[in-house]
Structure 1
Amino acid sequence: MSHEIRTPLNGILGMAQSLEATQKDGPTRAQITLIRQSGEMLLSILNEILDHAKIEARVIELNPRPCAIAAVVHSSTSIFLTTAEEKHIAMQVDLDELAGMTINADPLRIRQCVANLVSNAIKFTDQGKVSVTAKVSDGAAPDQKFIAISIADTGIGMNAEECSRVFGAFEQADSTVTRRFGGTGLGLSIAKRIALAMGGDISVTSQPGVGSTFTMSFPATLCADEGALAPATFPQQALQTQRPRILLVEDNPVNRQVAQALLASVTTDIEIAENGVQALDMLASQKFDLVLMDIQMPVMDGLTACRKVRAASAAWSSIPIIALTAGATDGDQRDCFDAGMNGYICKPLRATELLEKIASVLGVAPQKMAS
Structure 2
Amino acid sequence: MKWIHRLFAHYKAYHQHGPLLLRYMSLLVLFGFPLLYLLRFTKTAPSYNDLPLRLVNVVILLGLLLRDRWPESLKRYYLPYSYAVMIITLPLTFVFTSLKNGGGPGAIGNTFMAVFLLILLADWRNMVVMLLTGFASAAVLYVLTDPDPRLPMDYVARLPVLIAAVVGGSLFKSALEQATAERVRQAYGSLAGSIAHEMRNPLTQLKHNLESMQQALPLPTVASREQAVEGAAIDELYRHVAHGELAVSRGLQVIAMTLDEVNAKPLDPAAFSYLSASDAAGKAVREYGYASELQRGRVRLEVSQDFVFKGDETAFVFVLFNLIKNALYYLPVRPQLEVVITVAEQEIRVRDTGPGMTDDVLAHVFEPFRSAGKTGGTGLGLAYCRRVMHSFGGEIGCRSVPGEHTEFAMRFPAVAAADLQAHQARLWQQATAAFAGRRVLVVDDDDTARQYTVHKLSDTGIRVDTASSAAEALALLGRTSYDLLVTDLYMPGMDGYELAARIRRGRVGHQDVPILAHSSEPGHVAEVKARKAGMDGFASKPSSQLALLLAMQRALDRHQGARRAKALAGRTVVVADDNSWNRRAVSTYLQQAGIAVVEAEHGEAVLALLRGGQSCDAVLLDIHMPGLGGYQTARALRADPPGGRRLAIVAMTARSDAAAVEAAKAAGMDDFVTKPVSAAGLYETLERLLSQAENGGGAVVAREPWVGYHRAPPAPQEALLDVDRLENYARLGLLDELVDEGLPELERLVDTLRTAVTSIDFQGCLETLHALLGMTGEVGAAALYRRVRSLYVPMLEHRRWPAEEGWESDIGALAKQTVSAVRKYRQDRQPTGVH
Q: Give 1:164 deviation, angstroms.
A: 1.5
Equivalent residue for 1:299, pick from 571, 574, 578 = 571
- Counterpart position of 1:131: 340
Aligned to 2:320, the other structure's residue is in SS state helix
> Aligned pair 1:114/2:312, yes or no?
no
> Aligned pair 1:242/2:531, yes or no?
no
The question of whether the paired residues in 2 share the 8 Å contact of 1:17 and 1:36 is answered with no
Identity of aligned residues (%): 17
Q: Give 1:266 deviation, angstroms.
A: 4.8
1:198–1:66: structure 2 CA closer, same or farther, 3 Å change rule?
A: closer
Q: How many residues align?
A: 260
Whole-angstrom CA distance in 1 between matches of 2:561 and 2:205: 18
Q: Give 1:51 deviation, angstroms.
A: 1.7
Map 1:140-155 → 2, pairs under 5 A: 147-155=346-354
Q: Give 1:153 deviation, angstroms.
A: 1.2
- Counterpart position of 1:47: 256
Whole-angstrom CA distance in 2 between matches of 1:18 and 1:227: 45
Point out the structure with the larger helix share. Answer: 2
Letter of the aligned partner of 2:348 in structure 1? I
- Counterpart position of 2:820: none
- Counterpart position of 2:372: 173
- Counterpart position of 1:92: 300
- Counterpart position of 1:221: 415
> Aligned pair 1:61/2:268, yes or no?
yes
Whole-angstrom CA distance in 2 between matches of 1:198 and 1:264: 31
Map 1:203-352 → 2, pairs under 5 A: 203-222=397-416, 223-224=420-421, 226=424, 233=431, 237-239=484-486, 242-243=496-497, 244-245=500-501, 265-266=529-530, 269-270=533-534, 298-299=570-571, 303-304=592-593, 307=680, 334-335=731-732
The question of whether the paired residues in 2 share the 8 Å contact of 1:95 and 1:134 is answered with yes
- Counterpart position of 2:215: 23
The question of whether the paired residues in 2 share the 8 Å contact of 1:65 and 1:104 is answered with yes
1:269–1:76: structure 2 CA closer, same or farther, 3 Å change rule?
A: closer
The question of whether the paired residues in 2 share the 8 Å contact of 1:66 and 1:227 is answered with no
Letter of the aligned partner of 1:304 in structure 2? A
Q: Give 1:232 deviation, angstroms.
A: 7.5
Whole-angstrom CA distance in 2 between matches of 1:108 and 1:185: 20
Letter of the aligned partner of 2:485 in structure 1? A
Aligned to 1:172, the other structure's residue is in SS state coil
The question of whether the paired residues in 2 share the 8 Å contact of 1:200 and 1:219 is answered with yes
Whole-angstrom CA distance in 1 between matches of 2:570 and 2:206: 23
Letter of the aligned partner of 1:61 in structure 2? D
Letter of the aligned partner of 1:169 in structure 2? P
Aligned CA RMSD, in angstroms, stands at 5.1
Aligned to 1:202, the other structure's residue is in SS state strand
1:197–1:44: structure 2 CA closer, same or farther, 3 Å change rule?
A: closer
Whole-angstrom CA distance in 2 between matches of 1:40 and 1:15: 14
Whole-angstrom CA distance in 2 between matches of 1:129 and 1:46: 28
Whole-angstrom CA distance in 2 between matches of 1:188 and 1:15: 27
- Gap runs ≥5 in structure 2: 1-201, 217-235, 441-483, 488-494, 505-510, 512-524, 536-555, 573-589, 595-678, 689-709, 711-726, 734-835
Whole-angstrom CA distance in 1 between matches of 2:428 and 2:322: 24
Structure 2 length-normalised TM: 0.26
The question of whether the paired residues in 2 share the 8 Å contact of 1:12 and 1:39 is answered with no
Aligned to 2:372, the other structure's residue is in SS state coil
Q: Give 1:231 deviation, angstroms.
A: 12
- Gap runs ≥5 in structure 1: 1-9, 137-146, 248-260, 272-286, 319-329, 337-371
1:162–1:232: structure 2 CA closer, same or farther, 3 Å change rule?
A: farther
Structure 1 length-normalised TM: 0.53
- CA-to-partner distance for each residue in 1:332-366, whole Å, 9 max, x for gaps? 99459xxxxxxxxxxxxxxxxxxxxxxxxxxxxxx
Whole-angstrom CA distance in 2 between matches of 1:226 and 1:135: 23
Whole-angstrom CA distance in 1 between matches of 2:246 and 2:273: 34
Aligned to 1:87, the other structure's residue is in SS state helix
- Counterpart position of 1:189: 383
